[in-house]
Amino acid sequence: MRPTLKRDRTIRAGIRQRVRRRQQGRNRQPGGVGPVEDPCHQLVQREHAKVGNLHDRHRDGGRLEELDDRRGEAFRECRFEQLRQRLRASVQYGWPPNRLINWSQAVQDPDKLNDETTYQRCFACGHRNESGLKLTFRRDGERIVADYTPAERYQGFPGVLHGGILATMLDETMGRTGALRQEWLITGKLDIRYRRPAPIDQPLRVWGEIARERNGAIDAVGAVELMDGTVLAEARGMFLRLPDSLTTATVGQYPEFINYWRT
């Protein structure tokens, strides 16, 4: 029994010695030189670093919020100025701002065939569009007419006007016939027959007139001719009333268009 107790004591003493050495090793740097930092202290330092990062993020977030506030204020001022201009236009042209216009019953002045607003960016008729055709329309009896001398940049084959430009001229002029019936139209269908090459060095005349009226649409015909009456291209198309939503949006963006309709 005694040898067994002695062996157990020896084992316990060895365990205590190994534990003591292990604890001593934890308090020394690699290589056994000097003490190392307490692990608990390291944990506290890491947590402090996290808190510092949170403070930095909060500070940067505050700067971003301040920048967002400035942008929001600038946007509100710009929006207010837009609304103020619209209200001024509505008073000037007698359009009550608290009442929506029924555009399906709107009346366009037949003599106002050309855009004289600040928009004027239509490719066919906008005089502020430097790349456009800048067509100017006039009324000739029951026809809408415009004269145009093609620019060299619109040629297809050398010396020949591109067919797409002829199509644009016909589309815009035939659609403008809606002014004769107090309508504002968009193109539903357009069929073109090209008769002869159109030269780029001679003035051309394009015309359009109403062929048939029906509920919500107009059938129109038109042609592009030389000044001597030689037909270069002719077309037939169907044109639909402009949707109320699009018309209202247009006037909302460019209030001067109010002068082109009356209730």
Asked if the structure places residue 78 within a domain, the reply is no
Where residue 251 falls among pLDDT bands split at 50, 70, 90? confident
Give me the number of domains the chain comprises.
Answer: 1
Where residue 247 falls among pLDDT bands split at 50, 70, 90? confident
Amino acid 26: pLDDT: 55
SS3 at position 126: coil
pLDDT tops 70 at residue 154? yes
Asked if the structure places residue 7 within a domain, the reply is no
Asked if the structure places residue 93 within a domain, the reply is no
pLDDT tops 60 at residue 263? no
Amino acid 250: pLDDT: 86
Could you list the residue range(s) of the whole structural domain that residue 179 is in? 103-260
- Give CA angle at 72 (68, 78), nearest 5°: 145
Amino acid 40: pLDDT: 53
Asked if the structure places residue 159 within a domain, the reply is yes
Asked if the structure places residue 73 within a domain, the reply is no
Amino acid 212: pLDDT: 94
**By the 8 A CB rule, do 221 and 235 touch?**
yes
What pTM, to 2 d.p., does this model score? 0.59
SS3 at position 193: strand
**By the 8 A CB rule, do 143 and 208 touch?**
yes
- Strand ranges (DSSP E) for the chain? 138-140, 143-148, 185-194, 204-214, 217-226, 231-241
More confident residue, 179 or 191: 191
How many residues are there in the chain?
A: 263
Above pLDDT 90, what percent of the chain?
41
Asked if the structure places residue 201 within a domain, the reply is yes
Amino acid 32: pLDDT: 47
At 189-199, the pLDDT tens digits run 999 999 999 99
SS3 at position 151: coil
pLDDT tops 60 at residue 174? yes
CATH number of the domain within which 122 lies = 3.10.129.10
Which range among 55-64, 134-143, 179-188, 234-243 shows the weakest confidence by mean pLDDT?
Answer: 55-64
pLDDT tops 90 at residue 233? yes
Where residue 12 falls among pLDDT bands split at 50, 70, 90? confident
Task: Supply the mean pLDDT for the chain.
Answer: 77
Neighbours of 192 (CB within 10 A): 17
Asked if the structure places residue 151 within a domain, the reply is yes
Where residue 21 falls among pLDDT bands split at 50, 70, 90? confident
| Per-residue b or e along 1-12, where b marks 16 or more CB atoms closer than 10 Å to that residue's CB | eeeeeeeeeeee
Amino acid 112: pLDDT: 75
Asked if the structure places residue 139 within a domain, the reply is yes
